[in-house]
Chain A
Amino acid sequence: AQTVTQSQPEMSVQEAETVTLSCTYDTSESDYYLFWYKQPPSRQMILVIRQEAYKQQNATENRFSVNFQKAAKSFSLKISDSQLGDAAMYFCAYRSLNTGKLIFGQGTTLQVKP
């Protein structure tokens, strides 16, 4: 069975600074998808970024980028130029292509300080 681990329950960053959220996963599958979702206090789960395992190039979406290390089974999220609106709980998620299930990590709460 696949597992996803986020080892940082809470993180904080100064506004305009850069922060990296960690995620590791365990799987025996060779092909899969990885996601970062953001859930602000208003609770809507929003997709931040997605990475296909077969792609070596790291995904980027504006100020958000990932460092995908397939061999190490690591998938960290870097947020550049942090903004107050980035404050939220961030979930790393693994999607099995076999079962279709989305497996979430425990989440990291990000605080952005003005």
Chain B
Amino acid sequence: DTEVTQTPKHLVMGMTNKKSLKCEQHMGHRAMYWYKQKAKKPPELMFVYSYEKLSINESVPSRFSPECPNSSLLNLHLHALQPEDSALYLCASSQGTRSSFADTQYFGPGTRLTVL
């Protein structure tokens, strides 16, 4: 089973709202990722969690706040977003073994976010 689930599928929010995106995997993976993808463009890495600790933050604005409550769950908290933040937000996970990065990332279906 290589399933990564994401909720909600679609989200519309105003610039003053606070919302959260959720990602879950039950493959025993210890690395989880958030990507942002604009239409017809490749995904852009935002954050990486390894063993529930934030290991990479690609200089993402503070209005995006990631959280990894446990090894199966990854959240992305959103606050005071801008219209240009509208995009598809993809979550991915991989084995994330400490000895090697040589593992495959499996992606969820994404959350389509629209900021009004």
| Bitwise interface map of B from 96 to 116 toward A, beta carbon under 8 Å scored 1, else 0 | 000011101111111010000
> A95–B41 contact, CB under 8 A?
no
Interface string of A30-56 (1 = CB under 8 A from B): 000101010000111111001010000
SS class, residues of chain B in contact with chain A? loop
B90 within 8 A of A: yes
Spot the interface stretch: A62-70, A75-83, A97-105: A97-105
Chain B interface extent, by class: 20 to 34
A106 at the interface (CB under 8 A from B): yes
B56→A107 contact, CB < 8 A: no
Identify which of B41, B45, B110 contacts A101 (C-beta below 8 A): B45
Interface residue count for A (Cβ, 8 Å)?
26
Contact check, A100 vs B48: say whether CB atoms are below 8 A apart.
yes
Residues of A near B101 (CB, < 8 A) are 95-100
Chain B CB within 8 A of A25 CB: no
| Nearest CB of chain B from residue A91's CB, rounded to whole Å | 6
Residues of A whose CB lies within 8 Å of any CB of B are 33, 35, 37, 42-47, 50, 52, 89, 91, 95-102, 104-107, 109
Known pairs A47-B2, A91-B42, A97-B100 / 4 extra A-B pairs, C-beta < 8 Å: A44-B109, A89-B40, A102-B45, A102-B105
Q: Can you report 17 A-B residue pairs in the complex whose CB atoms are below 8 A from each other?
A: A43-B112, A45-B43, A45-B92, A46-B107, A52-B102, A89-B40, A91-B42, A97-B100, A97-B101, A97-B102, A100-B101, A101-B56, A104-B42, A104-B43, A105-B42, A106-B42, A107-B41
